[in-house]
Amino acid sequence: MIRLILFFSLMSYLISSNAQPYTFVFLNSRTDKAELPKEELDALMQKHLANIERLVKEEKLIVAGPFEGGGGIFIMNTTSVDQAREWLSTDAAIQA
């Protein structure tokens, strides 16, 4: 519930502040992938979080967060879907 409130608060801010348009990316968990061993999953998540930090520092990513049960959302600082895809192509978790 708190995540939902935070999400709608962010949306209200973005709409009311005349902010530039953003691209919302919804990441879905793949059901056709085999489960990874814990060590591999931990390494993958470290790479994923490092990529998120890099994108934030480069001002390409505004906010990111997980969904309960898997997947997540990215709000990208672009109006181009192709550019958002290019930026996310460097993410190990998305490639996996």
Q: Which residue, chain included where needed, has tokens 């192709």?
A: 82
Say how far apart CA 27 and CA 69 lie, in whole Å.
12
Q: Walk along the chain (96 residues) in steps of 10 and give the mean pLDDT of each run.
A: 64 64 82 80 90 94 87 90 92 81
Dihedral of alpha carbons 62, 75, 63, 47, sign: negative
Q: Which pLDDT value is given to residue 57? A: 95
Structural domains for the chain: 18-95 (3.30.70.1060)
Say how far apart CA 84 and CA 41 lie, in whole Å.
24
Say how far apart CA 74 and CA 88 lie, in whole Å.
10
CA angle 49/72/85 to nearest 5° reads 75
Q: Is 26 in contact with 81 (CB distance < 8 Å)? A: no
| The pTM of the whole model exceeds 0.75 | no
